[in-house]
Amino acid sequence: MDPVAVSLIVKAMYALGAAFAVGFGAIGPGIGMGMGAATAVEGMGRQPSASSDLFRVMLIGQGATSTPPTFALVVGILLLFGTGEGTALIQGFAGLGAGISIGAASFASGIGSALPAAQAGEAIARQPHLRRPFTTLMLIGQAISQTPLIFGLLVSFMLIFTVSPNPDAGLVEYITVLSAGICMGFGAMGPSVGSGIAGESAILGIRYHRDPESAVGLLTRVMLLGQAVAQSTSIYALVIALVMLMMV
CB count within 10 Å of CB 71 equals 21
The architecture that CATH gives domain 3-247 is Up-down Bundle (1.20)
Instruction: Look at residue 92 in the predicted model and tell me its pLDDT.
Output: 92
In this structure, what are the phi and psi dihedrals at residue 184, rounded to the nearest 5 degrees? Answer: -75, -40
Please give the average per-residue pLDDT across 45-74, as a whole number.
92
The rounded distance, in Å, linking the Cα atoms of 199 and 190 is 14
What value, to the nearest 5°, has the Cα angle with vertex 179 and ends 27 and 177? 110
Query: Range with the lowest mean pLDDT among 34-48, 103-117, 200-214?
Result: 200-214
Q: Using an 8 Å Cβ cutoff, are 69 and 150 in contact?
A: no
Percent residues over pLDDT 70 in the chain: 98
Contacts of 96 (CB under 8 A, 6+ apart): 13, 14, 16, 17, 20, 178, 181
Return the closest-CA partner of residue 126 out of 26, 53, 77, 181: 53
pLDDT for residue 85 is more than 80:
no
Average pLDDT over residues 115-139: 91
Average pLDDT over residues 162-178: 89
Residue 153 confidence (pLDDT) above 70: yes
pLDDT of residue 188: 96
CA gap 210, 200 in Å, rounded? 18
Asked if residue 114 has pLDDT above 90, the reply is yes
Q: What is the mean pLDDT of residues 19-41?
A: 94
**What tens digit of pLDDT does each residue of 186-227 get?**
999 999 999 999 999 999 999 888 887 878 888 999 999 999
**What is the largest distance, in Å, between two alpha-carbon atoms of the chain?**
73
Question: Is residue 203 exposed (0-12), middle (13-18) or buried (19+ Cβ within 10 Å)?
Answer: buried
What average pLDDT does the chain have?
Answer: 92
Q: Is the pLDDT of residue 83 over 80?
A: no
Q: State the DSSP code for 162.
A: T
Q: Compute the distance between CA of residue 59 and CA of residue 38 in angstroms, rounded to an integer.
A: 12
pLDDT at 1: 67
Give 69's pLDDT tier (boundaries 50, 70, 90): very high
Query: In percent, how much of the chain has pLDDT > 90?
Result: 75
Between the CA of residue 60 and those of 43, 56, 73, 136, 156, what are the distances in Å? 16, 6, 21, 11, 27
pLDDT at position 86, please?
67
Query: Which amino acid would we find at residue 59?
Result: L
Q: Judging by beta carbons within 10 Å of its beta carbon (0-12, 13-18, 19+), is residue 87 exposed, middle or buried? A: middle
